[in-house]
Amino acid sequence: MIGLQIPKVIFKTREGDSSSSLNECSIGGKWIDKSTDDYFNGKRVIIFSLPGAFTPTCSSQQLPGFETNYLKLKELGIDEIYCCSVNDSYTMNAWAEKLQIKNIKLIPDGSGLFTKFMGMLVSKDHNGFGQRSWRYMAIINNGIVEKWWQEPGINNDGSDDDPYIETTPDNCIKYLSEKKI
């Protein structure tokens, strides 16, 4: 994957939705198309992808871990940090609001096209999820993969294996710290 040019994809995002309480659905915003160029061109970024918003490991460890380490990663030469999931924009926005995410930008890959082009689309039908992303993380430098991590045992076999070993903020910090030396 190192050296791979990021595929050209359009993401359907929602901006400006709001509600008066957490018990109401956020509405009133508008659809904004964002491309991979918008997210990756001219920047050095981290992208991590995970099976789904509101799922246990994603919500309790991975996304909050990157949020906690945001400033440290920026100090190590990262311009932006993105979390991508095969979820729609409404779900990704609600998830960020629920977890009070302020720094990490969430990318909704509702159709799974970006995930498919990255070779990480797997079947989670056994959990009722349909097609989802295998957990991976990359440093993308101006649209080119500089460094790649993915969890072991990529599966479509119906197992419930969902490792979280390789795609941690700590592994990213270690790589970036060693790269600065």
**Average of per-residue pLDDT across 80-102:** 96
Tokens 């490792």 sit on residue: 163
Q: 25 pLDDT exceeds 80?
A: no
| Active site positions, annotated | 58
- Higher-scoring residue by pLDDT: 61, 157: 61
CA distance 69 to 110: 26
126 token code pair: 């056994």
| Homologous superfamily of domain range 10-15+29-180 | Glutaredoxin (3.40.30.10)
pTM: 0.93
Domain ranges of the chain: 10-15+29-180
Q: What is the mean pLDDT of residues 12-27?
A: 82
Over range 42-46, report the average pLDDT: 98
What is the mean pLDDT of the segment spanning 14-25?
80
Q: Which helix (H) or strand (E) holds 82?
A: strand 80-85
